[in-house]
Amino acid sequence: MRPALPALLLGAVFIALSPIFVRLSEAGPTATAFWRVALAVPVLWIFCRLPLRGPKLLFLAAGVAFAGDLAFWHKSIEFTSVANSTLLANLASIFVTLAAWLLWRERPRPLFLVSLALALGGVALLVQTSLDFSRTALLGDALGVVTAMFYAWYILAVKGLRDRGAATLQVMAVTSTLTALILFPVALASGEQMLPASACGWWILIGLALVSQAAGQGLIAYALAHLPAPFSSVGLLLQPVVAAFFAWVLLAEPVVTLQIVGGMVVLAAIWLARRGST
């Protein structure tokens, strides 16, 4: 358990750097999402074991979900604050439980209903902050919520694959490959800038792919296999907090009192949702 805890925390920090890389990227948001997975794919396949296990359609579902997750999240980061975008994207755990309730009639514990009410209150505070800032920020918040829906879909698809014997690195390698194949034509069709304009821009994309995508996701996957789920879910709440800190320090992005209160309410809701769904 000792190496697993540092792996969990370090993985959360690495993923928290991803919105910083996205904001600094010289490519468009969807193009940046493409390069994020495309540059990480070779590294992931090096550590991937064959043969693959799991239904092909479920792998495809995970790839489509992850493509939507990254595309909407990167677009959200373009319009709203890093803090809001990251917090709202982490509402995925609430959507996972809602999906299980509505689609498979898995009744959640009463604690989940409390978390749902808290989440709505926290989101309202974050939205109020965006309204005070600009209408564009409100669009970014909405895209952050859509991100959470796609991430919830991805989580459910990955859970299905893991239940059928697929290894974590296999899932990461295959879904990243499918995500890159999906995002490439979408980025081209969007008319965004596909290539960075400088060597520094390429290093930003490489950092996003290797640090946030490959190393961050890999460390968390390792930690989740060795730590109790409730403990891991609390540890991962570090990610939106660290992302907001990095945005404040590196991007001079202000954080107002109402936003802090809303963020704390959302974090509490996510924590309670994970407790209420187990």
Long-range pairs for 198-203: beta carbons < 8 A, 24 or more residues apart: 198/26, 200/26, 201/25, 201/26, 201/27
Tokens encoding 120 = 């709505």
Q: What region does 252 belong to: left with phi over 0, alpha with psi -120 to 50, or beta?
A: left
At 141-155, the pLDDT tens digits run: 889 989 989 988 888
Tokens encoding 29 = 């948001």
First to last CA, the chain: 21
Helical (H) or strand (E) element with 231: helix 229-235
Tokens encoding 81 = 């604050």
- Residue scoring higher pLDDT (276 or 19): 19
Residue 1 pLDDT greater than 60, yes or no: no
- Round to whole Å and give the CA distance between 278 and 275: 6
The residue extents of the domains of the chain are: 4-276
- Round to whole Å and give the CA distance between 88 and 107: 24
Q: What would the mean pLDDT of 185-212 be, rounded to a whole number?
A: 94
pLDDT at 111: 72
pLDDT band for position 181 (cuts 50, 70, 90): very high
3-state secondary structure of 277: coil
3-state helix/strand/coil string of 135-177 = HHHHHHHHHHHHHHHHHHHHHHHHHHHHHCCCCHHHHHHHHHH
